[in-house]
């Protein structure tokens, strides 16, 4: 036997206190009668329940309290097997790790904000499988689809601009890899979340959005950054921070390209939002769109549970309380003597 809430057994100490209080109350009652008159005479003057009935009532009340404590502890025994089905959808999150994501026009940086968006998704998601794809000038699967969000967080921490050998931003290649990496050919129960500043250096993003639409896979794009141009701070080997420059020595400036992201999302049947200081965009996307998508059974398992039998001590408690109430206290009846020594009730 096992207890689901063993802490409730501490209430048994209160049961002992209740028994002590009832015993002391009975003793005070008896002493009060003795002070009223001699005990034998008091029995002739005042009628009420016998001491045996009062002790029975006190015992039933104490036992009922103890049974209630055992019921709250929730005793469990007898193993039964339950089938558990995990329902959700498959979501690939595409995170831009190009150098432009180092810009600090949103705090702490574009890449830092992108990581925060993924963490928000993991907090909102319930039962979905999530995978990560990192992309810059090329793309690769950083974390395959998994229901283990702890693993997703671990791989997310490793996403840095030097993760991929080729610079630039290849949104189309990232989308192609996502569509190819889903388990099934069909698009039901699938979604892509694209987190980037929208600068696309290789093209092909709209073509992949059309391919996603044909398969029924919506793309939800989150734009990171500001439409105003910003420099890209780079930390050198000496630890000094300098703005990224091109070969001609000019400072490279980067800006959010919302037009491309809006077209990609609209073409695929998804939605576009820009990251805001409130950080509620991922919650909006999930609650308003992803949570409403049809879900499939991703995993089926069997778990063993102990049967909860709190009903039995609860039934005992109820019966004891009914029994205690059935044993009435009885009315106190003063008696007077008739002439000739007989007594009559007043």
Question: What pLDDT sits at residue 173?
Answer: 95
How far is 47 from 149, CA to CA, in rounded Å? Answer: 73
Pairing of strands 75-88, 2-3: antiparallel
Is the model more confident about 107 or about 120?
120
pLDDT band at 302 (very low <50, low <70, confident <90, very high): low
pLDDT, mean of residues 7-16: 70
Residues 212 and 187: beta-carbon distance below 8 Å: yes
Nearest 10 degrees: Cα torsion 175, 181, 186, 190:
-70
Per-residue pLDDT tens over the stretch 13-31: 777 776 777 667 766 766 6
Assess whether pLDDT exceeds 70 at residue 335.
no
How far is 152 from 63, CA to CA, in rounded Å? Answer: 53
> Quick one: which H or E segment has residue 196?
strand 190-196
Q: Which CATH class is domain 85-300?
A: alpha beta
Per-residue pLDDT tens over the stretch 166-201: 778 899 999 999 999 997 656 679 999 999 999 887
**Please, what is the Cα angle at 264 between 263 and 266, to 5 degrees?**
60
How far is 331 from 328, CA to CA, in rounded Å? Answer: 9
């Amino acid at each position: 036997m096992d207890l689901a809430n063993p802490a409730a057994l501490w209430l048994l100490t209160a049961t002992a206190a209740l028994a002590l209080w009832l015993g002391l109350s009975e003793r005070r009652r008896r002493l009060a009668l003795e002070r009223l008159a001699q005990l034998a005479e008091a029995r002739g003057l005042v009628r009420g329940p016998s001491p045996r009935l009062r002790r029975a009532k006190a015992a039933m009340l104490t036992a009922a309290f103890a049974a209630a404590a055992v019921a709250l502890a929730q005793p469990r025994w007898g193993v039964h097997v339950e089938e558990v089905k995990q329902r959700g959808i498959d979501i690939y999150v595409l995170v831009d790790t190009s150098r432009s994501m180092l810009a600090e026009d949103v705090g702490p940086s574009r890449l830092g904000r992108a990581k925060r968006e993924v963490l928000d998704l993991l907090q909102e998601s319930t039962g979905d499988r999530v995978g990560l794809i990192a992309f810059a000038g090329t793309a690769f699967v950083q974390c395959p689809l998994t229901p283990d969000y702890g693993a997703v967080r671990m791989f997310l921490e490793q996403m840095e601009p030097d993760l991929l050998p080729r610079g630039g931003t290849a949104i189309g290649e990232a989308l192609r890899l996502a569509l190819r990496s889903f388990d099934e050919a069909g698009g039901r129960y699938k979604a892509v979340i694209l987190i980037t500043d929208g600068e696309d250096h290789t093209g092909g993003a709209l073509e992949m959005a059309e391919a996603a639409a044909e398969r029924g896979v919506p793309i939800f794009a989150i734009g990171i950054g500001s439409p105003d141009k910003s420099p890209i701070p780079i930390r050198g080997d000496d630890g000094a921070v300098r703005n990224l420059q091109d070969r001609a020595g000019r400072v490279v400036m980067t800006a959010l390209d919302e037009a491309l992201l809006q077209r990609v999302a609209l073409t695929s049947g998804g939605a576009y939002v820009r990251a805001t200081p409130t950080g509620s965009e991922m919650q909006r996307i999930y609650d308003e769109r992803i949570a409403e998508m049809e879900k499939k059974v991703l995993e089926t398992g069997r778990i063993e549970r102990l049967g909860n039998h709190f009903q039995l001590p609860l039934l005992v408690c109820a019966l004891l309380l009914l029994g205690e109430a059935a044993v009435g206290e009885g009315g106190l009846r003063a008696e007077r003597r008739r002439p000739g020594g007989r007594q009559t009730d007043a």
